[in-house]
A and B are shown apart, each in its own frame.
Chain A
Amino acid sequence: MEKLLLLGDEAIAQSAIDAGLSGIYAYPGTPSTEILEYVHRSKEAKENKIRASWSVNEKTAMEAALGMSYAGKRAMVCMKHVGLNVAADAFINSAITGANGGLIVVAADDPSMHSSQNEQDSRFYGKFAMIPVLEPTNQQEAYDMVRAGFLLSEKYGIPVLLRITTRLAHSRSGIIRREPLPQNEVHLPGNPKQFILLPANARRQYKSLLRNQVLFEEESESSDFNQYREGKDKSLGVITCGIAYNYLFENFQDREFPYPLLKIGQYPVPRKMIEKLYSECNTILILEEGYPILEELLRGLLDDGKKIKGRMDGTVPRDGELNPNIVARAFGLDEDYGFDVPGLVKSRPPSLCKGCPHIYSYNALNEALNLYSKGRVFSDIGCYTLGALEPYGAINTCVDMGASITMAKGAADAGYVPAVAVIGDSTFTHSGMTGLLDAINDKSPVTVMILDNATTAMTGGQKSSATGRLEDICLGLGVEKEHIHILNPSPKNHEENLKIIEQEINYPGVSVIIPRRECIQTVARRLRDEKKEKQKQEVIE
């Protein structure tokens, strides 16, 4: 079969297409975004009528995927790790309903927080939901796991979690494709009550999930993704999870690896394989990309067994992603080192683009708030979070999708008025609308600025859910018409914009200000595409 050079994300997407996928659902989030994007661009996916476009948020995506699974077809839902928090209600309950058509949930974790607010480990969610988890070592395994995941999902009627991390998601490698499978026909679940989680049904479903735990563990014991490798030197036994395996063999490719090794790629953890390693070896070293989940399990609360080394005893740092040097140190191997970075090298944090509309929104907002004490701007997740940095210093919070409006409301409830929320258009539809309704119902004195650049900019310019309809949504929710304003955030409108912001900050109720101008990145791309299209037309003519 054909060999492709693909990002880990793209390998997952290609494999899903090849494994008879009927629909993929997602909200963009680094490092997961490229999965849906790939299916969206794929000619094969289009020919096979695979549904591929953005959802409003991860919860709606998860539910739609579950609905497709209910109808008997194979579905995938993708999100970044914190997106799984948003989807958690549907996700946990999908383990109780079970799946009909194969259902894979992809969670892309971001250890070291390259582009995230935390480094939570989605394997915990897998354990929480009590479903099988797959964790690939490399891009080819990611490809293979999607197909295996769909089959596993349909064999037990259970959603399967595929957990990846940044380095795998955003690293390219050669992938060998396999023969495509056909899509499923629509067919309803065998048990007509399994998706009705009334307590009586839910209890039955839950017992069945509990019974299946033994079978899931047996699957792990016999899975090709979990491998036991014998070793002569039993002074140490090593366990790797996911891409930790690569960093291990980066250090041992030119020397013999003398220890017994357990490579884990499928959970629940294969208990018998671990028992074998534990009984054979004097000390155990655990290398996990993420939280010390397996390490905690193995140590137990009392930690009174054999010596265990890993993230919890400092053999490996407690936080952050692994790399080849960290693993070399865990084995006491010599490391190379190039040259020191000269002192003159300055850090270069990301920043708002030159000409970005957010700059002018923040300039006006900063000036409007000059009269008041600091700490009044509650912001959200997106490019505009960069307004926290100099020279703007414009925002005071960034917590989770949608928290701007609700936190501003809470602060206003506490008497800290004026309180301003700053949220992007896509984040507003993701999780801001419900919070705005709370504020309206309470007549909270908050000023909500929806920075509308008509795209989901931070993740690369994906379609925003309600472009052109934001003011209608606000009106519909109950914001008073005279307190909704559309501004053009540009230098020449500064005075006019300032006046409107000052006026609404003084209004003791909910007001919504929408500074609206398209993201300069998407404008540039659109103009390029239009030019290309025009050239093509000219050639044809």
Chain B
Amino acid sequence: MKKDIILAGVGGQGILSIAAVIGMAALDSGLQLKQAEVHGMSQRGGDVHSNLRISDREIFSDLIPFGKADLIISVEPMESLRYLPWLSKSGWLISNNVPHVNIPGYPELASIESAIHAVGQHVLINADEIAKDLGMPRSANMVILGAASPWLGIDFSTLESAVRKIFGSKGADVVNQNLMALTAGKEFAMAHHS
């Protein structure tokens, strides 16, 4: 078992909360893990990404080579495209379709979406709306993780228990909200993937 995952987004969007859940679930599954993060200047609204590698044998590089990522999980649509050189030809691209516009000349969403469609295997999800409909707008990242869950190679129940551990200190309500968000994302992906 080996999954190479690129998490993408904009500094401040909290992609590391997704990484934390996958990381916890990977450890609970007895897998090895390496997760390279971006700290420092880019966190101020610049493009950020994390290379997350999980495997049942030794992982050498902290960075994923070109063409080897099994998954790109992005909380922002344009950012999902920035890492395409790393995506495997048989990989999946899972992206939120809600743009974060903090630069001039941000492209039309329609053209971003058609570029994502051109990639082939993908799930494009309005995680913000799904999270809002569930009454928990701050759980959009867990919706996106749920949408990626069918391709993670980790049992869904293991992901759920990782959510319980990670959000446990914030109380039962927050845990349940995030679990619901995770399930909603998964259901959307199963019904709407390419």
Interface residue ranges, A against B (CB under 8 Å): 5, 7, 30-31, 33-34, 114-115, 167-168, 170-174, 243, 245-251, 253, 323-325, 328, 335-342, 344-353, 383, 386, 390, 458-460
Contact = CB atoms under 8 A, between A and B. Distances in A.
B98 interface: no
A78 B27 CA distance: 30
Contacts of B103: 346-349, 351
Interface string B96-116: 000000111111000110010
Interface in B54-88: 58-69, 78-79, 81-82, 84-88
**Which of B12, B35, B36 has the most chain A CB atoms closer than 10 A to its own CB?**
B36
Contacts of A352: 44
A320 to B, nearest CB: 13
Contacts of A337: 66-67, 85
Given A167-B63, A246-B61, A335-B66, A342 B115 contact: yes
Nearest to B171: A535
Contact of A339 (B35, B62, B85): B85
Give the 7 A-B CB pairs with smallest separation, nearest first.
A336-B67, A115-B40, A30-B40, A350-B46, A250-B61, A338-B87, A171-B62
A336 B37 contact: no
A247 B61 contact: yes
9 contacts: A7-B37, A170-B37, A174-B27, A253-B58, A338-B87, A342-B118, A346-B107, A347-B47, A348-B78
A34 B38 CA distance: 12
B44 to A, nearest CB: 4
Contacts of A246: 60-62
A338 B85 contact: yes
A171 B37 contact: yes
A342 B111 CA distance: 10
A170 to B, nearest CB: 5
B42 A115 contact: yes
Contacts of B45: 348, 350-351, 353
Nearest to B26: A5
Contacts of A167: 36, 62-63
B87 A350 contact: no
B91 interface: yes
A338 B91 contact: yes
Interface string B102-141: 1111110001100100110000000000000000000000
Given A33-B39, A245-B60, 9 more contacts: A31-B39, A171-B35, A246-B60, A323-B63, A338-B69, A340-B85, A346-B105, A348-B45, A459-B40
B10 interface: yes
Contact of A30 (B41, B67, B68): B41
B3 interface: no
B99 to A, nearest CB: 11
B63 A114 contact: no
